[in-house]
Structure 1
Amino acid sequence: MNVKDSEIKDILVNYKKIAVYGLSHDPQKASHYVPAYMRGQGWEIVGIYPKVHEVSGFTIYKSLSEVPLAFRKFVDVFRSSESIPEVVDEILSVGGVEILWLQLGISHPGAETRAEKAGIRVVSNRCLIIEHKKYF
C-alpha cells in the first residue's frame, strides 16, 4: 500500500465514481452492501462481474475494458488475494486506473508493487465503509 492514512480522506473527496470489481448480487455479501452503502452516501458506482446479473439498479460490465474511463479511475476490488495479480494485469493492460482499492482482508504485495510502479495509488486491506465513517 503506497497511500498514507492521511491521504484516504482526500481520495474519497476527489473520486466520486467507483468501479467495483466483483460486485455481487447477494445482499448478504460485503461485495454488495459496501457498494450499496457508498451509493447511498452519494458516490456513483458501477460493477464489474463476468456473469450477466442484475444488482439493485447497478450497471454491471463484464470486464474493466467496458467500464467508462470516468469510473475506471477508482477500482475497488472484491476478489480473493490470490486473484489480485490477474486483476492488476487487466488494470495495466486497460489503463486509466489511478486508485486501486483492495477491500478488507485482500492484499497481494507483489501485485500491489507492480501497480505502484505503474503509477497507481494502492490501498489494501481497507473497507470503504469503515474509512468513510472515519471522515464523514
Structure 2
Amino acid sequence: MPLTQADDIARLLNETRTIALVGISDRPDRPSFTVMKTLQDHGYRVLPVNPQIAGEHVHGEFVWASLADIGVPIDLVDIFRNSDAAGAAVDDAIAAGAKAVWMQLAVVDHAAAQRAEAAGLKVVMDRCPAIEIRRLGLSPVEA
C-alpha cells in the first residue's frame, strides 16, 4: 500500500536527504522546476534527471540522462512523468537501489507501486513532496 498517513509521509521526508527528480524541466513555468527549488531550499540534495537536457544544469545541479548514471545513493525518486511512463521510472528506481519512489500529483500506477513495494521501496503516489512539506509543517533537513 502506498503511504497515505501523515506520520508515514513525514517520516519518509525527514529520513530523506538525496532526491533524484525524474522529468525535470529547465523551464521556469513547469512544476518540476519550482518543486526542485522548493526541495533544495528545504535542505535536500536534488539530482535532476532528463535525457533531453542531460549535461545541462538546473538550479546549480548537473542534469543526468538516467538514474543509472548518477552513481551515488538515492533516498527517494520523485517522478514527474505521466502515469503511462511512471512504471519505467519506478523500475529504474528499483534498479538504482533507491529507498523510495514518489509519484507526483495525478501520477498513478498501481502495478508499478506493487513492484516497488515488493522490492522493499516505500511508495507515495498522487502527491507532491513540496505540498506535503508545507502541509505537515516540516523543518528543513540537515545534510
Taking structure 1 as the reference length, the TM-score comes to: 0.90
2:90 is aligned with 1:81: no
* Unpaired segments ≥5 residues, structure 1: none
Taking structure 2 as the reference length, the TM-score comes to: 0.86
**Does the 8 Å CA contact 1:69/1:96 hold for their aligned counterparts?**
no
Alignment of 1:30-69 (within 5 A): 30-51=31-52, 52=54, 53-69=56-72
Matches of 2:114 and 2:34, distance apart in 1: 29
Matches of 1:2 and 1:54, distance apart in 2: 32
Q: Per-residue displacement from partner, 1:41-67 (whole Å, max 9, x unpaired)?
A: 211111111023332312211110111
Q: Which runs of 4+ in 1 moved over 3 A?
A: none
Matches of 1:60 and 1:95, distance apart in 2: 16
Report percent identity of matched pairs: 29
**Does the 8 Å CA contact 2:67/2:96 hold for their aligned counterparts?**
no
* Unpaired segments ≥5 residues, structure 2: 139-143
Aligned length: 134
RMSD across aligned C-alpha pairs, in angstroms? Answer: 1.4
